[in-house]
Amino acid sequence: MFDHVKFGVRDYAASKTFYLQALEPLGVTIAGGGDDPSYGIEICGSHNASLCLYQTEDQPAPLHIAFVATTREQVDAFYEAALAAGGKDNGPPGLRPKYHANYYAAFVIGPDGHNIEAV
């Protein structure tokens, strides 16, 4: 449905590092930009949709962003990488039967308070 989503972050350098490290297990790489914080960075995985981050002085509203993983091992690796990158636990890898029987996901809180999920 989406081509890209762009949102502001308070600490561009920290957010850039966090998202690249946390999402590396899901195959996410830099698709464009990156040097100019006011323009930002575009990161993309294999599904052609991209996430764009840029520096802002405004306090971003909390978001919930879910990224597609192809295996449970990728969800596990995302969780470990996100914690190593400074994310805070918001739900370890596991089944979430309240969503559906095979919903396997992990959640972390990123630098700006966003709930980041791999599913």
Going by their DSSP bridges, the two strands 104-109 and 115-118 should be labelled as: antiparallel
Q: What is the pLDDT along the chain (119 residues), one digit of tens a residue?
A: 678 999 999 999 999 999 999 999 999 999 999 889 999 999 998 777 899 999 999 887 889 999 999 999 999 999 999 999 999 999 999 999 999 999 999 999 999 999 999 99
pTM, entire model: 0.91
DSSP line for 19-80: HHHHHGGGT-EEEEE-S-TTT-EEEE-TTS-EEEEEE-SS-PPP-EEEE--SSHHHHHHHHH
